[in-house]
Structure 1
């Protein structure tokens, strides 16, 4: 794994510098812990999105929320690391570590992160948000992301060239007595998957379309990475 990560790390700085003559969208990225001023705005974006998409009533959110947009939040997600219990672990009969190991992914728990609460009202912000988050987590020595993905999200990622590793079905029955109303979310047959952060970064370097999309938001990366590192 080190042989993959090292050259990728050396190339990250090139993604933070826009090509001469390109224009930067007046975008902003917000990291919100539970007491942050922007927290409620991001929670409302996620809750409204899940309600519109699945008639769900989402009332619980991940410890750290990230929102990307201009004058309003357009895309948001939540993050937690392996230092905490992960929501996706509810779906497993075995440990998450064992499930990853069975797929040939050997990663210590402190280098795992979970992504959740993802909702985007504009597709042009979805991948940049995921890429900014992945690259910031990479700088914090996170190697593998785990998350629950609907069929639509999996298709979008795989169409973009990202390798996803199937771990298990996201079975609603595993939740026991649900603490919130998920509406029709589980009718989308979501699956728990894993993605290697190095693969995400390498794909961004290799895929011109993804790279151009990311470069519009690249100036946001250094401050966001530093803030995320302070919060994790």
Structure 2
């Protein structure tokens, strides 16, 4: 059967092929980068949970099949954790599911206005870490509304998101994270660059009610996606996770396009 391919479809295939090359390097144990060294003892594998990662990755855009279910999971999670009532407006949602939803977050390109820019003194691309590294706005992506009902799903969700976005040509991920979430990342070897503290009085007027969320001392963080790739390539536990989720992550790259 003959068919034509849209620019979007061509981008999807490119993202998948790039991820497949990355996966092949894992299987052959070829390091992706020798830029970073990692102290094995600084990584705490308990945050990854079991070595068998038996869950599905779901992606939902506005109007998507699972969109409402994932939104409700996030909203209920924020209400249970912080008595917060929030709207979920991110263009894409990514969730881990094992019979029921375990963890989810939203994704927004830097080409749009970012929620975390309310906390900053200027546009995100003007922050020192991005100026110093010649990072443009189109290179930045925001994640938000992260909720996990079990700590062991937090890091897999974060890393799956980071890998997928890296192979879509993004370079940095920014987010507002609770002190607990930032500590999980740091203890697992993820380098977190602090941009600023997240203060509730910076938030523009809306119908959202954040409950006790800001009592968790949230921080606005930037993470280099290439640093995450280097970390995964150097740690066997992380490699096991990505080998087991190989095909699903390639599909995720397509769905996020």
Alignment-derived partner of residue 129 in structure 1 = 157
Q: Which runs of 5+ in 1 are unaligned?
A: 1-7
- Match status 1:36 vs 2:64: yes
Q: Could you tell me whether the CA contact under 8 Å between 1:16 and 1:218 is conserved in 2? A: no
Tell me how far 1:160 sits from its aligned partner. 0.5
Q: Pick the aligned partner of 1:193 from 208, 221, 237.
A: 221
Alignment-derived partner of residue 22 in structure 2 = 12
Q: How many residues in Structure 1 have an aligned counterpart in Structure 2?
A: 219
Alignment-derived partner of residue 59 in structure 1 = 87
Q: Could you tell me whether the CA contact under 8 Å between 1:131 and 1:214 is conserved in 2? A: no
CA RMSD of aligned residues (A): 2.4
Structure 1 consecutive aligned stretches of length 4 or more whose deviation exceeds 4 Å: 8-11, 15-19, 23-26
> Residues 187-226 of structure 1: matches in 2 within 5 Å?
187-226=215-254
More RCO (CA 8 Å, sep 6+) = 2
Alignment-derived partner of residue 145 in structure 1 = 173
- Match status 1:98 vs 2:126: yes
Say which one has the larger Rg: 2
**Matches of 2:104 and 2:251, distance apart in 1:** 18
- With over 3 angstroms needed to count, the CA separation of the structure-2 counterparts of 1:18 and 1:41, relative to structure 1, is farther
Q: Could you tell me whether the CA contact under 8 Å between 2:94 and 2:105 is conserved in 1? A: yes
Tell me how far 1:176 sits from its aligned partner. 3.4
**Matches of 1:58 and 1:215, distance apart in 2:** 35
**Matches of 1:217 and 1:109, distance apart in 2:** 30
Q: Which moved more, 1:195-204 or 1:105-114?
A: 105-114
Q: Could you tell me whether the CA contact under 8 Å between 2:62 and 2:92 is conserved in 1? A: yes
Tell me how far 1:202 sits from its aligned partner. 0.8
Q: Could you tell me whether the CA contact under 8 Å between 2:119 and 2:197 is conserved in 1? A: yes
- Match status 1:154 vs 2:182: yes
> Residues 175-186 of structure 1: matches in 2 within 5 Å?
175-186=203-214
1:92-142: CA deviation from partner (whole Å, max 9, x where unpaired): 122211214477343111111001010011233222221221111111100
TM-score, normalization: structure 1? 0.86
